[in-house]
């Protein structure tokens, strides 16, 4: 695995038998499955995270090679650790609490680097390792919920593992085997799953399925260059779908159509802002804690004065939300705040440095989500969407930590395999504005300079190597055999037209 992370998938060895991509694909599957198989070390740590710790130098190097954004993730992650230490000094707690928080932060950053290295080293310009990583991740989640389940999984196995795995596997299967009809097949399958999630009380999973279904309908099958209007349309449609889904769920649950348990739950979550706040009362307590100490936070223990919680309770009651039973036991009575938001939890425990680190992570995930939607990489978009939700509304536990780390790595390497995807879907190409961008290796997109014709593409029939052949043979008065060049080029003859990892020409 060290060779895969530190090395590359291209080069002389990759041209014969393609050993590096094959090895990289196998490692990608292992990384996806291993993200859900845990061992009891300093709490729980996944096998993929264990590998990241053991290969720490290679993981750091891989992250540094993602220029600009990679070093920024490493820098802000280190600053987050500094914020945790500072908060601990100002608000002392048991040393083990600090050690676990610092270890969790370090493991997260290293896992991002490890997965980045696996994806970049094993790609050889193709999407293969990305798709294999996602498939392994989906299978691993189903296997992990059986072999090494978290404690809370017993409360609702469908919501906390099985449902997400099933949705991702169905999405992968439909996208692959009904590719020509995915604008119909994907929304149909996801709509059925959304209804199933809603009936089983997994409201967030239902929302995720609907959002990706909308993306499948609203985005064209050809990756487009200037896609912000479409992305805004997808975002607006997703927001409206979320509002409508919340209203539908509230009405069905209030009427008892979803069972007595859901009827009772929604009665505890009804107030001025609906279940958007009622279903996430913990966020109100976290915001209260942040407002009381926005710079340094409260340290890894998250112990706050009683007035912090009193203000949160007062705000909830003023807006019509009941606070009793579960709320008292979970949010009010414990000494520490309930950190059910990675972003706000990092702010509470690590101060503004923790907040900035996770704000960067959130922006990276959103950027990767926009690219995945634009490229119709719908399974990848689903993973990134769930990761964005985790950053806002989930605690930094063992499973969410690994999921977000894999998602960040996918986002940081978002251009790897883009050329291969377009060649598969549109082998003829039109050379127009839907051309594949270059990957400069820093996670950004660089569009090729326009060619001689008006739409920026090459003249019809033009192929790489023609201009080079003309220049080489012209002094001798010879003309190149273009048909021979075409056959060599499409056959992968690197002496005629060697390819970079991003599918461009060297």
β partners of residue 446:
438
Question: For residues 448 and 375, which has the higher predicted lDDT (pLDDT)?
Answer: 375
96: how many CB neighbours lie within 10 A of its CB?
10
326: how many CB neighbours lie within 10 A of its CB?
11
What does the pLDDT look like over 294-325, one tens digit per residue? 999 999 999 999 999 999 999 999 999 998 88
Alpha helices in 55-201 (DSSP H): 56-64, 69-90, 95-123, 128-147, 163-177, 182-199
What does the pLDDT look like over 217-272, one tens digit per residue? 888 766 555 567 777 888 888 888 888 888 888 888 888 888 888 888 888 888 88
Q: What does the pLDDT read at residue 313?
A: 95
Alpha-carbon distance values, 250 to 203, 325, 394 (Å): 10, 21, 22
What does the pLDDT look like over 29-59, one tens digit per residue? 999 999 999 999 878 999 999 999 999 999 9
This prediction's pTM: 0.78
Residue 10, pLDDT > 80, answer no
- Rounded Cα distance between 118 and 2, Å, is 9
Mean pLDDT over all residues of the chain? 80
Query: Are the C-beta atoms of residues 82 and 353 closer than 8 Å to each other?
Result: yes
Q: Apex CA 132: angle with CA 126 and CA 137, to 5°?
A: 145
Residue 188, pLDDT > 80, answer yes
Residue 109, pLDDT > 80, answer yes
Q: What does the pLDDT read at residue 264?
A: 84
Q: What does the pLDDT read at residue 443?
A: 43
Query: Residue 157: enclosing H or E segment and its boundaries?
Result: none
Query: Are the C-beta atoms of residues 216 and 374 closer than 8 Å to each other?
Result: no
Q: What does the pLDDT read at residue 170?
A: 94
- Rounded Cα distance between 268 and 250, Å, is 11
Residue 279, pLDDT > 50, answer yes
Q: What does the pLDDT read at residue 420?
A: 44
β partners of residue 45:
39
Name the burial class of residue 346, with classes exposed (0-12), middle (13-18) and buried (19+) by CB atoms within 10 angstroms of its CB: buried
Query: Are the C-beta atoms of residues 305 and 292 closer than 8 Å to each other?
Result: yes
Q: Where are the beta strands (DSSP E) in 38-143?
A: 38-39, 45-46
What does the pLDDT look like over 441-487, one tens digit per residue? 444 444 344 333 333 334 444 444 444 444 444 444 444 444 444 44
Q: Where are the beta strands (DSSP E) in 34-191?
A: 38-39, 45-46
Task: Please name which of 168, 111, 114 lies closest in space to residue 139, comparing C-alpha atoms.
Answer: 168
């Amino acid at each position: 695995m060290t060779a895969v992370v530190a090395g590359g998938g291209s080069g002389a060895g990759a041209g014969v038998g393609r050993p590096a991509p094959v090895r990289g694909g196998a490692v990608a599957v292992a990384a996806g499955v291993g993200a859900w198989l845990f061992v009891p070390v300093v709490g729980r740590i996944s096998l993929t995270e264990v590998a990241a710790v053991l290969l720490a130098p290679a993981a750091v190097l891989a992250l540094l090679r993602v220029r600009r954004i990679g070093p920024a993730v490493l820098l802000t992650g280190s600053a987050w650790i500094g914020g945790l230490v500072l908060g601990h000094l100002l608000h002392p707690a048991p040393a083990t609490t600090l050690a676990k928080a610092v270890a969790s932060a370090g493991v997260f950053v290293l896992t991002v680097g490890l997965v980045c290295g696996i994806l970049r080293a094993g790609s050889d310009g193709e999407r293969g390792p990305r798709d294999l990583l996602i498939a392994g991740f989906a299978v691993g989640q189903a296997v992990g919920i059986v072999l090494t389940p978290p404690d809370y999984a017993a409360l609702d196995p469908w919501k906390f593992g099985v449902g997400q795995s099933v949705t991702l596997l169905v999405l992968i299967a439909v996208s692959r085997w009904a590719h020509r009809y995915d604008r119909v097949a994907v929304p149909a399958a996801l709509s059925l799953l959304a209804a199933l999630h809603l009936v089983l009380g997994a409201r967030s999973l239902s929302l995720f399925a609907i959002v990706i279904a909308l993306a499948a309908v609203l985005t064209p099958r050809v990756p487009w260059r200037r896609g912000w209007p479409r992305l805004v349309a997808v975002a607006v449609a997703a927001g409206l779908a979320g509002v409508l889904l919340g209203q539908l769920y509230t009405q069905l649950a209030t009427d008892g159509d979803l069972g007595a348990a859901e009827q009772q739950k929604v009665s505890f979550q009804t107030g001025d802002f609906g279940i958007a706040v009622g279903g996430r009362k913990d966020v109100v307590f976290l915001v209260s804690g942040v407002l009381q100490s926005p710079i340094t936070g409260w340290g890894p223990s998250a112990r706050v004065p009683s007035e912090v919680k009193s203000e949160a309770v007062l705000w909830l009651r003023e807006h019509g939300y009941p606070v009793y039973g579960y709320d008292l036991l979970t949010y009010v009575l414990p000494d520490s705040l309930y950190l059910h938001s990675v972003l706000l939890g990092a702010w509470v425990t690590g101060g503004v440095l923790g907040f900035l680190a996770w704000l960067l992570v959130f922006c990276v995930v959103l950027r990767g989500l926009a690219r995945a939607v634009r490229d119709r990489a719908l399974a990848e978009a689903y993973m990134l969407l769930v990761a964005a939700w985790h950053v806002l509304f989930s605690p930094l536990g063992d499973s969410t930590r690994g999921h977000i780390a894999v998602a960040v790595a996918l986002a940081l390497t978002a251009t790897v395999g883009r050329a291969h995807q377009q060649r598969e879907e549109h082998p003829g190409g039109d050379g127009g504005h839907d051309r594949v961008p270059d990957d400069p290796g820093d996670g950004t997109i660089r569009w090729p300079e326009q060619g001689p014709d008006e739409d920026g593409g090459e003249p019809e029939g033009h192929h790489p190597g023609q201009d080079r052949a003309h220049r080489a043979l012209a002094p001798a008065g010879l003309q190149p055999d273009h048909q021979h060049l075409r056959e060599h080029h499409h056959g992968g003859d690197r002496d005629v037209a060697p390819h970079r990892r991003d599918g461009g020409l060297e």
